[in-house]
Amino acid sequence: MTYITNPLGLHDIFNLALTCRQFSYLITNDDICKTALETHASYSAELRVARSSKQYARVFRRLVKSRDAIVTATPYSVAVIACANDFIYCNGMLCYTLGPERLRVLDLHNSGSVEFVIDTVALLRSVPDENLGNNSYKFRPIHYAEGIVSCLYTPPKIEGRSRLLVLNLHERKLLTCHRLESHQKLFVRNTQNYLYYGTHSFVGDDGFKRWVLKHFSIRDQQWGSGHLDLEDIVGSDIGATVCFEIIDDHFYGLSSLSSFDVYETDWTSYYHGFRFPVGSSRPRDMQLTSKKKMWRRQHQEGPIDDRWSTLSLEKDPVGGKLMAVECRREYLVGDCSSTRTSYRTELTFCGSNDFDSDQSDYEDDGDEMEYPSGSTSAAAKTTPSRDPSTVHRGDDGSTIPAATFTHCFIRSYHQSCETFMDLINDPAASETM
């Protein structure tokens, strides 16, 4: 039966099992489900869970049901988990504070029923050689991964600078309390052994701010010397124009912008990115993306409503390729209304052989700026073609009900399900309830 189910997709196998009692074993047999997962979800988080638990059939059913719930927008349950002043939901964990005195962490992904509760007053007073937590302060979670939660402590101005606190939840241990030079647009990414944080605080010679990174060795309990200035990464809105992630022991950064100017004059837009091995912060270890292979769009395609733009780095659950996933609402030429579209572009990095040719691409950029906005330029005639499988058109002006930006609090795209999902405040529905 494995030979019959092998060419079928996950949902096809699941639906076939529901057709009659004789086929029900297709989703209860671990061997069949293991083969299906390794074929159609080779790089998914669910397969990693199945390999560790050996419950391939259970994970298979959960994966299909979860994707069906997302595609059909029919959650299995809706519940009020907690009231919070500040919260994050990161890597399956809900971290929140109702007041600055308590940090609470709940494993929602695994249906946890017991919270980790951290007394932040006692935590702050335990920091050696510091006098923290005696006056009013702000305390909020920033990031969670690998059992480690990072938080921002903001004291009154008279007490000095803010601190980044990093805690190991399972050991209930404070790993570091680091004084921050700036916490503007602070973000944190970490593995079990290394942690990086970045702020949008480095001012270049041109007066524009850039991102700056610092790293901490969790294993050695030591901060790295110096910092890494990301001078070529444009964009200040994480999740919209720039994103940072740690994937497969590499730190990645990606931007959809190429200029600090408000109005870009280049006809052609490219993604700009980098990566370096986790544990390093040396510029010579950094590898840049290949510009000519990271084409984004041609500006003659139409204007963009930047308010709706999202940008993320995700691994393709089937092929394992690292993809730049960008959603943007565009007023495409020939359309009478705006259309939201998801674009997926594989990350390609420069090698030693093509570095020189890629540098020549950067040097030729000036030629594209000479074309007037109303002409048919050479750049427009040589627009690369997109693979239709990497483009997903979403809602447009004809979609009912229409969602306005002010009522759309969360905008997301699920690559594994090829589904747009938004959280919308519908006043009419609220009045009916």
pLDDT digits 0-9 by tens, 258-271: 887 766 556 789 99
Domain that residue 181 falls in: 79-199
Q: What is the pLDDT of residues 12-42, one digit of tens each?
A: 999 999 999 999 999 999 999 999 999 999 9
Q: Is the pLDDT of residue 76 over 90?
A: no
Is residue 215 situated within a structural domain?
A: no
Q: Residues 174, 104: one domain?
A: yes
More confident position, 322 or 132: 322
pLDDT at 356: 45
Domain assignment present for residue 99? The answer is yes
Domain boundary among 53, 72, 91: 72
Residues belonging to the chain: 433
In a domain, 389, yes or no: no
> 244 φ, ψ to 5°?
-135, 135
Whether 352 is covered by a domain: the verdict is no
On whether residue 233 sits in a domain, the answer given is no
Q: Is residue 334 part of a domain?
A: no
Q: What is the mean pLDDT of residues 239-258?
A: 95
What pLDDT was estimated at residue 329? 93
Q: Using alpha carbons, select from 178, 352, 326, 181 the residue that is nearest to residue 255.
A: 326
| Residue 382, pLDDT above cutoff 70 | no
Burial of 52 (0-12, 13-18, 19+ CB in 10 A): exposed
pLDDT in tens, 152-189: 999 988 778 999 999 999 999 999 999 999 999 999 99
- Is residue 85 located within the same domain as residue 192? yes
Residue 111 scores a pLDDT above 90:
no
pLDDT of residue 432: 59
Residues 85 and 190 in one domain: yes
Q: What is the pLDDT of residues 328-367, one digit of tens each?
A: 999 888 777 889 999 999 999 987 455 444 555 544 444 4
- Per-residue pLDDT at 133: 80
Tokens standing for residue 166: 């990093």
Q: What is the pTM of this model?
A: 0.88
Q: Report phi then psi at 311, rounded to 5.
A: -140, 135
20 lies in the same domain as 87: no
- Tokens linked to 209: 């701010």
Report yes or no on 237 lying in a domain.
Answer: no
Share of the chain above pLDDT 90, in %: 63
Span 112-122, mean pLDDT? 93
| Structural domain count, the chain | 2
Q: What is the DSSP string of 13-82?
A: HHHHHTS-GGGGGGGT-HHHHHHHHHHH-TT-HHHHHHHHH--HHHHHHHHHHHHHHHHHT--S------
DSSP state of 311: E
Shared domain check, 83 and 63: no
